[in-house]
Amino acid sequence: MPMEVLKIGTRGSALALAQANETRARLMAAHGLPEDAFAIMPISTSGDRIQDRPLAEVGGKGLFTKELEDALFDGRIDIAVHSSKDMPTFLPDGLALIAFLERADPRDAFIGRAAPTLEGLAKGAVVGSSSLRRQALIRRLRPDIEIINFRGNVPTRLAKLDGGQVDATLLAAAGLSRSGLAGRITEMLDPQKFPPAPGQGAICIEARIDNRRIAEMIAPIHDRPTGQALACERGFLAVLDGSCRTPIAGLARIDGERLDFHGMVLTPDGRECHEISRTGSTADAETIGREAGAAIRGKAGARFFDSWV
């Protein structure tokens, strides 16, 4: 019988392909299969094609997933590999996140051309970022800095930095590491002061829920602690909207059966901020995240959330 090839869908950027290759390598090791048992299939997404506007203006996180999800539904691919932080909190009916790979460093990285640290930047320095969360956190810590919208994949942003368009930029440490560019980092940002996006650093796998064969094949590469952390963080997001229009940060840390969560919401200008911390059992991960989201909503009040619209 000929071998049935597993079709792995991914965005076409260098980072996305690195994540798809990592997924394939883990599956090869888990099942003792050769490389040609898997086909990596790059698919262009709207988020990749639209580079001249902030995501919040053109549809948010779903722009990075829709075309891949269409390919899941019509059978062109068997699984889709994503950066977890790009995933909307609500998925189309019939699809689910069936696995998370072991999380890499979730922190944000500062890459400075004019100064090696965020604190060391001169007054009026220009920082490039397309993330509303990073923009709000920068404004909170350094209101004297100018921020410009900075779209593009990792090499594109670094080329803009090297070309002098900005004095510094911020990127996910995990993405730089997976792209072989960790050497460009000049400062790792403290997650207590500069918390990451929920899901940052974790690769997730999306598939159709009616395909038991695929679920069984993917199960051995699922990392349980990462899945628990992401259940909490995505629960927090689900209560707080969790689109690209909202400056939300959150990080759950797992130690055995203990979960520690720190979440934050900010106004886009960074002037108002609300934080929350929760501790509990990993068995209650999603509940902890949702309750933290509800508590921070109550603390901030409706007026705070109206400012995001």
Which residue is associated with the tokens 């290759």? 21
96 bridge partner residues: 207
CA dist list (Å): 59 to 48, 56, 71, 283: 13, 6, 19, 34
CA dist list (Å): 174 to 194, 203, 301: 15, 10, 34
CA nearest neighbour of 15 among 242, 165, 203, 169 = 203
- CA 216, CA 149: separation in Å to the nearest integer? 42
The answer to whether 279 and 258 are in contact (CB under 8 A) is yes
Question: Catalytic residue numbers?
Answer: 86
- CA 117, CA 270: separation in Å to the nearest integer? 19
Strand pairing class (126-128; 146-148): parallel
Burial class (CB in 10 A: 0-12, 13-18, 19+), 198: buried
- CA 3, CA 38: separation in Å to the nearest integer? 10
Query: In this structure, which amino acid lies at residue 1?
Result: M
